[in-house]
C-alpha cells in the first residue's frame, strides 16, 4: 500500500507540532488504515444515509450563495434556516450511532489516540470524509448545537496536547475542573494554552455561582498577626508599628498613609478567611 502524503494546509499550519506528527504517524501505518477501511465497509449503509443528507445540505448552500453572495447571512429567514440546517442536524444524529461510536473508541484505544473525547470526532470525520485533519474543526465543536458551548469552543483549539473538562467528582459530587496529561505532554503545552484553562476555570465559577475574587496568600502572616492584635489593641498606630516597625521621620506622612491603606486592604481581604 502506498503511504498517503499529508497535505500541509492551513489547518496544519495552525496545529500543535505534536498533533501534526501524530497524524503523519497514523497515516503512515498500514494496519491503522486497513482498520479504518474495514470500518468504512462495515458502516457503509450509515455513511450513505449521511452522504444523501450532505448532498441536500450542499445543494441548499449553493442556492444560498447564489441569492446572498455569501454563506449563512444574518438575514436568513426561519424557512431558509430550516431547509439548510435540518439536513445538517440529521447528519449528526445519524453518525452518533452508539455502536458506530464504540468502534471508533476501540480504534482510539488500540492506537493510543488521546484524548478520546476530542479525537473521536476527528476519526469519525476521517472514516466518513476520508480526510484526517487536525482535531481543531469538524464534528463536535459546538457550532451547530446552540448549547452555550459556542463561545468557549471558538476560543479553545482542539489540538491541545492535554485534555481538560468540567465534571462531577464521584466522591464529593461537586463539579471540578480536571486536566489529563499524556506521555508526551510537556509543561510548555500547558503554558501555551493556560488561557484555555483559565476560561474553563471561569466557566466552572459561573456554573457554581462563585463571584468572589481570589486573593493570593502572600499577606497571610500579616493578616494573622493583625487578627491577634485586633483582640488586644485598639490603636491602629500601635498595630502598624508592631507589624511594620517604627515609621521614622523621613516621609512620615506618605509611609503612614501607605501602611494604613495596606492594613485596611489586608483586613478586608482576610476578614472571612480568619473569622473564628
> Is residue 115 reached through a cis peptide bond, with omega within 30 degrees of 0 on the bond before it?
yes
Least confident of 8-12, 85-89, 226-230, 248-252: 8-12
The C-alpha angle with vertex 66 and arms to 63 and 67, in degrees rounded to 5, equals: 85
Q: What is the mean pLDDT of residues 18-46?
A: 91
Q: For residue 177, report the phi and psi dihedrals to the nearest 5 degrees.
A: -100, 125
Q: Which residues of 51-79 are buried (b: 16+ CB within 10 A; e: fewer)?
A: eebbebbeebeeebeeeeeeeeeeeeeee
C-alpha grid cell, residue 98 = 452508539
74 or 104: whose pLDDT is higher? 104
The three-state DSSP-derived secondary structure of 203-233 is: HHHHHHCCCCCCCCHHHHHHHHHHHHHHHHC
Residue 102 predicted with pLDDT over 90:
yes
Helix (H) or strand (E) holding 195: helix 194-208
- 46-98 confidence digits (pLDDT tens): 999 999 998 988 888 888 778 777 766 677 788 887 888 888 888 888 888 89
241 contacts: CB under 8 Å, gap ≥ 6: 247
Structure confidence by residue, pLDDT tens digits, 119-167: 888 899 899 988 887 775 433 333 333 333 334 444 445 566 787 888 8
Is pLDDT above 70 for 112? Answer: yes
Locate all alpha helices (DSSP H) within 69-193, ordered by sequence.
78-95, 98-110, 116-129, 150-155, 187-192
Mean pLDDT, all residues of the chain: 76
| CA distances in angstroms from 95 to 88, 139, 170, listed in the order given | 11, 10, 30
Percent of the chain with pLDDT over 90: 16
- pLDDT for 21: 83
Q: Burial letters for 203-219: b for 16+ Cβ neighbours within 10 Å, e otherwise?
A: beeeeeeeeeeeeeeeb
Between 253 and 156, whose confidence is greater?
253
For the cut 50, the answer to whether the pLDDT of residue 10 exceeds it is no
Q: Please name the residue that has the C-alpha cell 497524524.
A: 23
pLDDT for 7:
45
**259 or 105: which leads in pLDDT:** 105
Amino acid at each position: 500500500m502506498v503511504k498517503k502524503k499529508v497535505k500541509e494546509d492551513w489547518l496544519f499550519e495552525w496545529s500543535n507540532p505534536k498533533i501534526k506528527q501524530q497524524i503523519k504517524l497514523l497515516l503512515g501505518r498500514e494496519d491503522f488504515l486497513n482498520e479504518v477501511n474495514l470500518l468504512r465497509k462495515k458502516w457503509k449503509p450509515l455513511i450513505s444515509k449521511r452522504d444523501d443528507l450532505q448532498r441536500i445540505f450542499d445543494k441548499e448552500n449553493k442556492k444560498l450563495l447564489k441569492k446572498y453572495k455569501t454563506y449563512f447571512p444574518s438575514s436568513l429567514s426561519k424557512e431558509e434556516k430550516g431547509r439548510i440546517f435540518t439536513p445538517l442536524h440529521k447528519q449528526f444524529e445519524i453518525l452518533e450511532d452508539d455502536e458506530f461510536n464504540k468502534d471508533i473508541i476501540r480504534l482510539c484505544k488500540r492506537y493510543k489516540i488521546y484524548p478520546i473525547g476530542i479525537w473521536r470526532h476527528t476519526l469519525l470525520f476521517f472514516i466518513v470524509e476520508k480526510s484526517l485533519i487536525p482535531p481543531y474543526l469538524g464534528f463536535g465543536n459546538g457550532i451547530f448545537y446552540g448549547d452555550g458551548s459556542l463561545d468557549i469552543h471558538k476560543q479553545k483549539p482542539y489540538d491541545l496536547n492535554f485534555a481538560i473538562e468540567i465534571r462531577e467528582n464521584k466522591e464529593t459530587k461537586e463539579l471540578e475542573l480536571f486536566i489529563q496529561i499524556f506521555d508526551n505532554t510537556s509543561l510548555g503545552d500547558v503554558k501555551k494554552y493556560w488561557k484555555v484553562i483559565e476560561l474553563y476555570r471561569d466557566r466552572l465559577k459561573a456554573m457554581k455561582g462563585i463571584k468572589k475574587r481570589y486573593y493570593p496568600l502572600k499577606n497571610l502572616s500579616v493578616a494573622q498577626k493583625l487578627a491577634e492584635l485586633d483582640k488586644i489593641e485598639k490603636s491602629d498606630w500601635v498595630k502598624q508599628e508592631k507589624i511594620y516597625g517604627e515609621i521614622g521621620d523621613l516621609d512620615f506622612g506618605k509611609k503612614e498613609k501607605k501602611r494604613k491603606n495596606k492594613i485596611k486592604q489586608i483586613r478586608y481581604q482576610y476578614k472571612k478567611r480568619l473569622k473564628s
